Amino acid sequence: MRAVLAVDGGGTKTDVLIAAEDGRVLGHRRVDGLPPHKLGLDASITGIGAAVRQVRAELTEPVEIRHAAVFLAGADLPAEIEALDRAVAAAGWAPDTLVENDTFALLRAGTTAPDAVAVVCGTGINCVGVTSDGRTSRFPALGRLSGDWGGGRDLASEMLWHAVRAEDGRGPETALRKAVCERLGTANVRAVVEAVHAGKLAADLATVLPPVLFEVAGSGDELAMSVVERLAGEVVRMVAVTCARLNLDRIPLVLGGSVLAGGHPLLLAGIERGLAGRGLRIGIVLVSAPPVLGAALLGLDRLSGGRAPEPAAIRLAAEVSTLDLTTRPLQGLPARARTRTAARPLTEPDILRGHLDTLILAVLERGPLHGYGIIEALRARSGGALRVPSGSVYPALHRLEAGGSISSHNSVYGGRNRRTYQLTGRGRVAVRTQRQAWQEFARIVGSFLDE
């Protein structure tokens, strides 16, 4: 059976997937990030190779991997891509290989349009564009060194800057100060700064803090809102420059990465407003699917000599949407990467995976709420135990609305426009059915655990 190997490596996670020519997912594993620009080329390839071997060892049928599509964060400069291409070819994972920056995988996951632009914002930020005649546009994406701002690292740094100055009196008060301390479990912001300086903070701030920013901005905090507005402006500028380089003005804009995929209303509104102000007619496509979907689709494209057959692409997308995205240990992981793995904190998505949609339906059963109201209701009804970030809530709302369980409309709260969500008839049936199923499940489990 002919198959493709797809690898998507971001700053904090790496997905390795093997897909059959007909779109079936034959094997998958998620491990921690193995970015070559941080670990070094040899360590990165060694780690990815270990994950590939583990996935292959778990296959239940023989396959012939004809193509390897490898898309990595940090593959930014031509020399870096050439070195990675040689290393991937030498690894012998497949006779034919394609190596590129991970933003191109996001682009393919979001659209089949020949003219399109994608912005990924996770740990860092990047933007690429493609045209039907084969032209591309990209940025070096080396952080502040190459003029970039807006990834999770930058947002976390900006939040701490404002929080520190609010605490010591050099700056205005902001709800970010309390929110940062609550999220990191410290008594004050100074303790956070000292822990970061001493290398004793286990949490990855680039991952943990951006959802807090959107929560606080959603409550109307002016400083938090200004940071979100700055991010929107950065996205608009990258897209505008890319469109000017490629002479594009009516295209899909694919947005992804942990910061953008949540689809926070303030951020999206700022991006849409900025693009419209520049005369760009752009339709935003939010990608919440793992970008490895795009890597696998590009692999199937290569295998078929054009676009992957639609039935295979549809099947692949459906199966990728059900993948277990738990980060698992990796045998043979380089020592420097093992240090990062050990420090990985438990996050809300790990705890709530498979249950968040049901909890949101139950919250909306009591009446319509806007996004931040849903976050607060989850926290209040759990007695403070559930602190679900907007980066988890908004993709769930998109899923539920696409599935017909909820509907939404614009409304005004406190003089500001908010999108309000409410249950549909289908959603009310779903929450009743799921409540009954949960009660029965709890009864059965309780029969084993009760003393």
At 42-77, the pLDDT tens digits run: 889 999 999 999 999 999 989 999 999 999 988 888
For residue 246, give both structure tokens.
Answer: 């490629």
Say which DSSP state 260 is in. Answer: T
Where would I find the H helices in 92-121? 102-110
Supply the mean pLDDT for the chain.
87
CATH top-level class for 2-104+290-342?
Answer: alpha beta
Q: In a 3-state reduction of DSSP, which class is residue 281?
A: strand
Nearest of 151, 143, 113 to residue 260 by alpha carbon:
151
Cβ distance 218 to 390 under 8 Å? yes
Chain segment 368-377, per-residue pLDDT in tens:
888 878 887 8
Of the pLDDT bands very low, low, confident and very high (cuts 50, 70, 90), residue 258 is confident
Amino acid 417: pLDDT: 62
- CA gap 113, 87 in Å, rounded: 31
* Higher-pLDDT residue of 333, 432: 432
Nearest of 251, 252, 155 to residue 212 by alpha carbon:
155
Sequence-distant (≥ 6) Cβ neighbours of residue 413 within 8 angstroms: 370
Mean pLDDT value of segment 249-269: 92
Of the pLDDT bands very low, low, confident and very high (cuts 50, 70, 90), residue 346 is very low
| Percentage of the residues of the chain whose pLDDT score is greater than 70 | 90
CA distances to 2, 26, 27, 397 from 61, rounded to whole Å, are 11, 8, 10, 37
Q: In a 3-state reduction of DSSP, which class is residue 258?
A: coil
Of the pLDDT bands very low, low, confident and very high (cuts 50, 70, 90), residue 111 is very high
Of the pLDDT bands very low, low, confident and very high (cuts 50, 70, 90), residue 430 is confident
* Higher-pLDDT residue of 86, 11: 86
Chain segment 289-336, per-residue pLDDT in tens:
888 999 999 999 999 999 999 999 999 999 998 888 888 877 655 444
Q: In a 3-state reduction of DSSP, which class is residue 57?
A: helix
Q: Is the pLDDT of residue 337 over 50?
A: no
- From the number of C-beta atoms within 10 Å of its C-beta (0-12, 13-18, 19+), residue 210 rates as buried
Mean pLDDT value of segment 112-129: 94
Q: Is the pLDDT of residue 349 over 80?
A: no
For residue 170, give both structure tokens.
Answer: 């050099």
Mean pLDDT value of segment 361-383: 83
Residue 208 sits at the vertex; the CA angle it makes with 227 and 123, to the nearest 5 degrees, is 70
CATH top-level class for 348-449?
Answer: mainly alpha
- Phi then psi for residue 245, to 5 deg, are -60, -40
Q: Is the pLDDT of residue 404 over 90?
A: no
Containing 211, the helix (H) or strand (E) segment is helix 205-218
Of the pLDDT bands very low, low, confident and very high (cuts 50, 70, 90), residue 340 is very low
Sequence-distant (≥ 6) Cβ neighbours of residue 386 within 8 angstroms: 348, 352, 359, 378, 379
Chain segment 97-109, per-residue pLDDT in tens:
999 999 999 999 9
Which own/partner contact pairs does 353-359 have at CB distance under 8 Å and 24+ positions apart? 353/325, 353/326, 356/388, 356/392, 356/393, 356/396, 357/396, 357/399, 357/400, 357/405, 358/431, 358/434, 358/438, 359/386
Which of 185-194, 230-239, 412-421 comes out lowest in average pLDDT? 412-421
Cβ distance 98 to 84 under 8 Å? no
Amino acid 403: pLDDT: 79
Per the rule left: phi > 0, alpha: psi between -120 and 50, beta: everything else, 347 is beta
Of the pLDDT bands very low, low, confident and very high (cuts 50, 70, 90), residue 437 is confident
First-to-last CA distance in the chain?
A: 52
Same fold flag, 2-104+290-342 and 121-286: yes
- Phi then psi for residue 20, to 5 deg, are -75, 165
The 3-state DSSP composition of the chain as helix, strand, coil percent (nearest 5) reads 50, 20, 30
Amino acid 447: pLDDT: 73
Domain boundaries, the chain: 2-104+290-342, 121-286, 348-449
Does the domain spanning 121-286 belong to CATH 3.30.465.10? no
Amino acid 391: pLDDT: 66
For residue 378, give both structure tokens.
Answer: 């989850």
Per the rule left: phi > 0, alpha: psi between -120 and 50, beta: everything else, 328 is beta
What is the reported pTM?
Answer: 0.71
| Percentage of the residues of the chain whose pLDDT score is greater than 90 | 57
Amino acid 202: pLDDT: 62
Q: How many residues does the chain have?
A: 451
Q: Is the pLDDT of residue 353 over 70?
A: no
231-248 residues labelled b (16+ CB within 10 A) or e (exposed): bbbbbbbbbbebbeebeb
